[in-house]
């Protein structure tokens, strides 16, 4: 803890050095720029936040669509859809997401949040159409087309994480600073988490409409429906503005990545490490939860498995709301450690009593749901929030994308390891390993994640700028229309609130 305090103190001294060399002005009453009116900027910020929520529902939908689709394809193609093919199709989304998070994370800092989000929306729609139309000379060829299509979707959904999330955080910072954390959660992790039960609900409706047959029609329609949400926000994204915070703090040339790593190494270990552990547990448990429930139910009924899966998804949602409620009161860091603690508690309960608890299906589903709910409460909510708050605007997309990409690498590894663990050690060990990840997650969070609850993001930008200047960096911050304001330093009104 002492090293953490000295780390923060050194940053504060750098800010003081910078403030003595620049003339500061109060921008609280100024227009966002010479070219953009305050009214138009505020409307754009509001629509950006709403569009982020709607778009991320499609991300959650796509992330969870394979949960029931895996069960359906196994029933339709029992000989061809073996575990290796199932894992490949599921992992295609993850590989695409890792690439998308890194590429879009970097580019959204250069080209702006708007251009990045317009592009990711197009990728999700194109991939969804191709997935719905998957075809091949052989069944195996069709699965390869589905694999590639899911990879394209993954690139789009992966890019949404840094582009959409950091944009929501920046606009929320200007619209509602004190409630930035809860607002961010409700338009990011809630839509992502809601996408899970929503995907199951859509599946059940389509499955019932097809009279529990015509399996090919069911999964193709479900993939096609996934295009609706991104299309619904495309116009608003096309018309949106980049946030005033981005236009004031962007670094488009001479990005000092070496200094970025030296300044943020501790935070990067925290967000990357915790996100790896979280996705290592939550993603394979989400993808294969229907298969686990199906084996526990002991019934080949796809409809019954889907109904239990819907209950599981519903139980996991309250954790999102509780996390939003307590993130300001308890602090981001403490909430995240409590969430990892839930993995430890419920993972051990289910794993150690697996043979007995699975004989009572409702009890098993409830405890399984509580484990996932604790994940939503803690790391699910806080990792995105912290990754959008810890890093300065000029490198926020890059650091967010890197953290999320490491997380998705954990998801891919977890998905790849899930079946061997289940086959060689038994299903109970998937939950015991989740508990072990919970312990490690608590330690990583405690030692490497700083708690910055409620701090204005403009102050974070100026602390980072002070550090760069102290190390001899002479680059420019801000786009052309707001570069003059970027050079003025911290507004007096903000310095008084520090």
Euclidean distance between CA atoms 153 and 102, whole angstroms: 15
Residue 474 has which token pair? 């002479």
Contact 404, 323 (CB under 8 A): no
Q: What angle do CA 153, 375, 182 make, to 5 degrees?
A: 85
3-state secondary structure of 176: coil
Contact 90, 285 (CB under 8 A): no
pLDDT given at position 46 = 76
Those residues of the chain that have pLDDT short of 50 are 1-34, 493-498
Give the pLDDT of residue 294: 76
- pLDDT tens by residue, 251-290: 888 889 999 999 999 999 999 999 999 999 988 877 667 7
pTM higher than the cut 0.75: yes
Q: Which pLDDT value is given to residue 447? A: 97
- The Cα–Cα gap between 233 and 384 comes to 21
Six-digit token pair at 467?
Answer: 């550090």
DSSP for 213-264 reads --HHHHHHHHHHHTTHHHHHTHHHHHH----HHHHHH---SS--HHHHHHHH
What would the two tokens of residue 494 be? 């903000």
Helix (H, G, I), strand (E, B) or coil at 353: coil
pLDDT for 361: 85
Q: Check: CB of residue 380 under 8 Å from CB of residue 142.
A: no
- CATH class of residue range 2-490: mainly alpha
What is the C-alpha to C-alpha distance for residues 268 and 386, in angstroms, rounded to an integer? 11
Supply the pLDDT for residue 36: 57
What's the pLDDT score for residue 481?
A: 59
Tokens at residue 60, please? 């959650």
Report yes or no: 485 and 444 within 8 Å, Cβ to Cβ: no
Query: Environment class of residue 153 by beta-carbon count within 10 Å: exposed (0-12), middle (13-18) or buried (19+)?
Result: buried
Two tokens, residue 72: 């359906």
Domain spans of the chain?
2-490
State residue 422's pLDDT score.
81
CA 185 from chain center: how many Å?
A: 10
């Amino acid at each position: 803890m002492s090293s953490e305090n000295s780390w923060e103190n050194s940053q504060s001294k750098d800010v003081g050095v910078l403030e003595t060399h620049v003339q500061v002005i109060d921008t609280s009453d100024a227009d966002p720029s010479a070219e953009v009116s305050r009214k138009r900027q505020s409307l754009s910020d509001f629509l950006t936040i709403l569009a982020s929520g709607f778009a991320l529902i499609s991300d959650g939908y796509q992330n969870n669509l394979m949960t029931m689709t895996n069960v359906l394809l196994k029933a339709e193609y029992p000989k061809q859809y073996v575990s290796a093919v199932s894992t490949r199709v599921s992992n295609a989304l993850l590989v695409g997401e890792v690439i998308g998070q890194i590429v879009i994370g970097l580019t959204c800092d250069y080209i702006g949040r708007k251009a990045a989000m317009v592009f990711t929306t197009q990728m999700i729609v194109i991939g969804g159409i191709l997935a719905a139309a998957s075809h091949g000379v052989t069944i195996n060829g069709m699965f390869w087309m589905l694999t590639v299509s899911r990879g394209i979707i993954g690139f789009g959904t992966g890019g949404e994480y840094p582009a959409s999330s950091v944009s929501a955080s920046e606009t929320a910072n200007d619209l509602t600073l004190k409630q930035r954390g809860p607002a961010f959660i409700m338009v990011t992790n809630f839509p992502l988490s809601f996408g899970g039960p929503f995907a199951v609900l859509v599946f059940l409706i389509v499955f019932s409409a097809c009279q529990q047959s015509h399996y090919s029609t069911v999964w193709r329609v479900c993939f096609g429906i996934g295009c609706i949400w991104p299309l619904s926000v495309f116009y608003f994204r096309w018309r949106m503005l980049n946030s005033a915070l981005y236009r004031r703090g962007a670094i488009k040339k001479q990005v000092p990545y070496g200094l970025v790593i030296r300044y943020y190494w501790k935070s990067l270990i925290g967000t990357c490490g915790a996100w790896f552990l979280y996705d290592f547990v939550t993603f394979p448990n989400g993808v294969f939860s229907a298969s686990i429930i199906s084996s526990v139910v002991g019934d080949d009924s796809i409809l019954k498995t889907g109904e239990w899966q819907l209950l599981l998804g519903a139980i996991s949602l309250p954790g999102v709301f509780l996390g939003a409620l307590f993130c300001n009161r308890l602090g981001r860091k403490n909430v995240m450690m409590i969430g990892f603690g839930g993995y430890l508690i419920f993972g051990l309960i289910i794993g150690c009593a697996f043979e007995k608890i699975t004989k009572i299906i409702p009890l098993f589903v409830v405890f399984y749901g509580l484990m996932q709910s604790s994940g939503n409460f803690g790391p699910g909510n806080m990792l995105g929030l912290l990754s959008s708050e810890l890093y300065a605007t000029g490198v926020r997309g890059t650091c967010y994308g890197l953290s999320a990409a490491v997380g998705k690498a954990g998801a891919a590894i977890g998905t790849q390891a899930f079946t061997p663990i289940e086959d060689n050690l038994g299903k109970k060990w998937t939950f015991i390993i989740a508990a072990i990840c919970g312990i490690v997650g608590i330690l990583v969070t405690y030692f490497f994640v700083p708690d910055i609850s409620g701090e204005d993001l403009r102050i974070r930008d100026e602390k980072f700028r002070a550090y760069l200047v102290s190390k001899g960096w002479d680059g420019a911050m801000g786009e052309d229309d707001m570069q003059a304001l970027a050079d003025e330093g911290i507004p007096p009104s903000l310095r008084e609130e520090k």
